[in-house]
Each structure stands twice: as structure tokens, then as C-alpha cells.
Amino acid sequence: MTEVEILTCLRHKNLVSLYGCTSRQSRELLLVYEYIPNGTLASHLRSHSTKPTLLAWPTRIKIAIETASALAYLHASGIIHRDVKTNNILLDNNLCVKAADFGLSRLFPEDISHVSTAPQGRPGYLDPKYHFCFRLTNNSDVYSFGVVLIELISSLPVVDMGRNNCEITLGSLAVRKIQRNEFEELVDPCLGIEKDSELKRKVTAMGELAFQCLQIKSEMRPSIDEVLDILREIEREKKDSKDAKEDNDNGGSGISKNKAGIDAAQPMMASITLNQATFFKSSSSPNNVTEKWTSESTNPNLSV
């Protein structure tokens, strides 16, 4: 009933469409959705699908952007998904995202800051504040999406009992690797960042964004709208740099404007211009995320 109530009033290109349901007189109550032929993002990242697809970086960041777009639409509609995970991110024949499974979703009135409710969701994706304090907010989805970003970067499982106790969940593993300046160890080797400095900057930029999403205090995380804006900036950084170079080559001022009115000759994000060491360690990193995380948590297992 929750899914019917939510999906009948929503229309977005990155949300799975609900076609209808069986009647009360049927032997079984079933929901009928559009068929999404390419399986889940999880199956592609870990090659469990019948026709696994090598997900190159442009495809991965496109998936991240389309998933964030779907979540931004939900949040603007007063809905918290509450079960954001790669198993609920479906891919069509063109590897476009269709977010699915709204059985745990909650309507979220505009005039409240949080909903007090028993935690539900898959281990490894669950917002620590929601898990321990029973406080569900829009930024609970942001935390889960931060884990999805790390999955897109690493292709690693979200929960692995074979890892060290402090690194069983992917969120915990990512935080520890980033704080130790070992981010590159997380990156899926098939992306080939060691051969492409441009790609390395973009993957590292997504890593910092994921790190901000994974902060313990929900109010320290960006909103999903901010996450979406940053992902779009990361995706188009090369194009803007190319446009600026062409303008210089043509004798122009070397400054072009993108649609947002930002100087394309200037860095789109501070993180893109920083090397990995300063990215996660320097006090100049946006919001001082490393310092804030360390000061707020001494227990890396909180990311369960």
C-alpha cells in the first residue's frame, strides 16, 4: 500500500513506473511494474548478471547522477526512500537508472526536522544516526547514497565478513582508507586511474563527495541537491576545461561561461585541483571533513 500510495503520484524518468496491481479478489496481491531488462547495479559491479557489462567511468558517473536526480525528486516531493542500495538501482538497455523498491519509503512533511521510527534498511547502508538514535531525515538517504558512490568507485561488496572487524562495512573501510591517505587502494583497477590523470582527479573528487556523505552527524552531510550539483560539475569538468583551452587558442580571454555562469577557466571544484594528499588531509579541504569526522567519532564501526 505504501508503494502504491507513493508511486501513483510520482513521475520521473529515473524512477521505475508502477503500472498497476491485482485486485482484492485475486489469490495474491501483486504490484505490476515496467520491466527493466538489465538487472541491478549491484549485479553489474560484481559481475553476477547473466550478461555482465564492464562499467567504464562515464557510465558510472552517469549512474551516480541519475540516481541522485531520482533521490532529489523524491526529497522535493516529501519522500524519504529509506532503502537506497545498488540492489534497488535498476538499469535499462541503455544503462539508464530506474530507482526501485519503495516498500520502506516514508512520507516526510515539510514542517518537521525528522521522523522517529524504528530503523529499517540493509546493513552497510544504514545511517548511523538513524540506526542508534531512531531519527530518520532526508540525509539518511544521503548517507546510503555515499555508500553507493564508494561502490561505484571500488566495485567492492558493502558487507564482507572476511575484512578486518573495523572494515567489515564498506563505509567504514572507505573512511579508514581515506583518513590514512590510502584512497587509491579503494579504486576498482579496471578504471585505470594510474594511466589517466584527468580520470584520477574525477574519481578522487567523487571519493571526497562520498566521504562528506558518510559523516556521522547528519547535519554535516550535504543535501542530495548539493550532491547532484557536485556530481554534474565533476562530469563536465573536462568539457569546460576544453572549452576554455579552445577560447585561448582562438585568441579569446581564456574565460568562458557555463550554463551556471561560472568561469570555465577556473576550477569547477576545489577538490579537482588538489592532489590526493591534500585532498583528504589539508585543512583547506571543503568543510574540513577529515577533521570533523575524526572529532565526532572514535569508533569506525559506527558505519554499520
Residues with catalytic roles: 83
267: alpha, beta or left? (left if phi > 0; alpha if psi -120 to 50):
beta
20, β-bridge pairs: 32
Q: Is the CB of residue 208 less than 8 Å from the CB of residue 289?
A: yes
CA dist 231 to 207, 235, 282, 301, Å? 11, 6, 22, 27
Nearest to 168 by CA among 121, 124, 212: 124
Q: Is the CB of residue 107 less than 8 Å from the CB of residue 6?
A: yes
Q: Is the CB of residue 143 less than 8 Å from the CB of residue 43?
A: no
Cα 215 to Cα 174: distance, rounded to the nearest angstrom: 11
Q: Is the CB of residue 102 less than 8 Å from the CB of residue 7?
A: yes
Nearest to 241 by CA among 194, 281, 197: 197
Q: Output the nine-digit C-alpha cell for 285.
A: 579541504
What radius of gyration do the chain's Cα atoms show? 20
- DSSP letter assigned to residue 27: S
Q: Is the CB of residue 221 less than 8 Å from the CB of residue 142?
A: yes
